[in-house]
Amino acid sequence: MQEMSEDARLVDALGETAFRTMGALTGIAADAGLSLTQLRVLAILRDRRLRIGDLAEYLGLEKSTMTGLVARASAKGLLAREPNAEDARAVDVVLTPAGHDVARSLEAAIRYALLPLTDRLPAADRRALGALLERMLSYHL
């Protein structure tokens, strides 16, 4: 077997980390009766009010997809549709109080679910890893 380059190892590690992390997040969402996309919507709307189209763009989805996602989450009482003040065609999406509660408990569940992945790393390594990831993310785009 050929030796892997440092870069190839980083790419593989990034991919594996992503799959494990997403797996944990998917499980948490499923426990709450939500899809991963709906978990993302809740997380995004915690500190924002977005129009349907902006939400779709943020998630990389079509507007028609957002219509359904918002409809299902609204039916669960997690978010609400409100008219946009400046454009009568537009619809703002906001979290309901119940949605905020769920978002808060999801955040806690995520921290807890990722513990097995992080807690055996020495504190110094955790700090170093967090700093490196933040630096990497700050470059992108």
Q: Using CB under 8 A, pick the residue from 2, 33, 60, 64 that binds a copy of itself.
A: 60
Applying CB under 8 A, the site for a copy of itself has a residue count of 44
Contacts to DNA from residues 10-29, by CB under 7 A: none
Rounded CA-CA distance 14/99 in Å is 31
CA-based radius of gyration for the chain: 18
Give the nearest distance from C-beta 100 to DNA in angstroms: 19
Q: For residue 38, what are the CA distances in angstroms to 91, 117, 120?
A: 18, 23, 30
Rounded CA-CA distance 68/85 in Å is 23
Q: Using CB under 8 A, pick the residue from 21, 35, 74, 96 that binds a copy of itself.
A: 21
Q: Which option in DNA, a copy of itself, none does residue 96 bind, with CB closer than 5 to 8 A by kind?
A: none
According to the binding rule CB under 8 A, does residue 140 interact with a copy of itself? yes
Structure tokens at 127: 């700090």
Pick the piece of the chain touching DNA (CB under 7 A) from 53-61, 98-106, 113-121, 127-135: 53-61
Contacts to DNA from residues 55-94, by CB under 7 A: 60-72, 81, 84, 87-91
Residues 27-44 as b or e (16 or more Cβ within 10 Å = b): ebbeebebeeebbbbbeb
Rounded CA-CA distance 126/110 in Å is 17
Structure tokens at 117: 């992945």
Is the Cβ of residue 15 or residue 83 nearer to a copy of itself in the bound state?
Answer: 15
Binding site for a copy of itself (CB under 8 A): 6-11, 13-23, 25, 40, 60, 110-111, 114, 116-118, 120-121, 123, 125-130, 132-137, 139-141
